């Protein structure tokens, strides 16, 4: 909750990956708030008020996951909305000749996206979602202590750099500073 709030303000890409991880932590604890208190919340050593706030946050996420039918897999609508917002911004930036560096970053990343989509067999996942799926998968491999090949590390570095650029532009757009050049 505290981490999510800070990440949402500072880096939308990190926020989204963090929220996907929270969804998986909730699933790993069987959507059971008592298990979440014991395995997650209690480990933070929070004041009673902060612990109650965090408990309520997890309870609201559990409720949303149940209502949206993502108890076993998938992502909450609020997280899917962020992917959609990022994808729309991505398309806008690609179409605008005022953002050649963004286009360059994307086209440097595109071969990895194509390869990942082919391996995953998921034709309906968009380019941005494919990038997030790749980084989240890599995060899970690292958490499991699995070895990462040099090729995978290179792809992840390129994808990370691209998503960092998109996240930066997203932050500027939220502050109405991205397209300032059009108003000059």
Confidence check: pLDDT of 42 > 80: yes
Confidence check: pLDDT of 23 > 60: yes
**Residues 65-103: tens digit of each pLDDT:** 999 999 999 999 999 999 999 999 999 999 999 999 999
- Return the number of other C-beta atoms located less than 10 Å from residue 134's C-beta: 23
- Distance CA(159)–CA(175), nearest Å, equals 24
- Distance CA(126)–CA(145), nearest Å, equals 29
Residue that the structure tokens 């008592």 belong to: 34
Q: What is the 3-state secondary structure (H, E, C) of 119-175?
A: HHCCCCCCHHHHHHHHHHHHHHHHHCCCCCCHHHHHHHHHHHHHHHHHHHHHHHHHC
Indicate the domain borders of the chain. Answer: 2-68, 77-182
**Which of these ranges, 46-50, 65-69, 129-133, 177-181, has the smallest mean pLDDT?**
177-181
> Average pLDDT, whole number, for the chain?
93
- Distance CA(100)–CA(104), nearest Å, equals 6
- Give the pLDDT band (50/70/90) at residue 182: very low
At residue 160's C-alpha, the angle toward residues 174 and 13, to 5°, is 35
Exposed/middle/buried for 136, CB within 10 Å: 0-12, 13-18, 19+? Answer: middle
**pLDDT score for 65:** 98
Tell which wins on pLDDT, 123 or 157: 157
């Amino acid at each position: 909750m505290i981490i999510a709030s800070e990440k949402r303000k500072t880096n939308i890409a990190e926020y989204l990956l963090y929220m996907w991880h929270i969804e998986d932590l909730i699933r790993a604890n069987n959507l059971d708030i008592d298990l979440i208190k014991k395995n997650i919340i209690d480990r933070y050593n929070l004041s009673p008020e902060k612990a109650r706030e965090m408990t309520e946050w997890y309870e609201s996420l559990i409720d949303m996951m149940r209502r949206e039918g993502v108890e076993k897999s998938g992502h909450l609508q609020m997280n899917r909305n962020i992917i959609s917002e990022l994808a729309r911004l991505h398309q806008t930036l690609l179409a605008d000749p005022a953002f050649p560096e963004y286009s360059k970053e994307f086209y440097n990343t595109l071969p990895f996206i194509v390869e990942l989509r082919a391996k995953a067999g998921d034709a309906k996942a968009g380019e941005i979602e494919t990038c997030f799926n790749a980084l989240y998968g890599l995060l899970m491999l690292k958490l499991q202590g699995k070895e990462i090949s040099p090729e995978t590390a290179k792809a992840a570095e390129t994808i990370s750099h691209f998503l960092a650029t998109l996240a930066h532009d997203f932050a500027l757009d939220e502050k109405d500073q991205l397209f300032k050049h059009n108003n000059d």
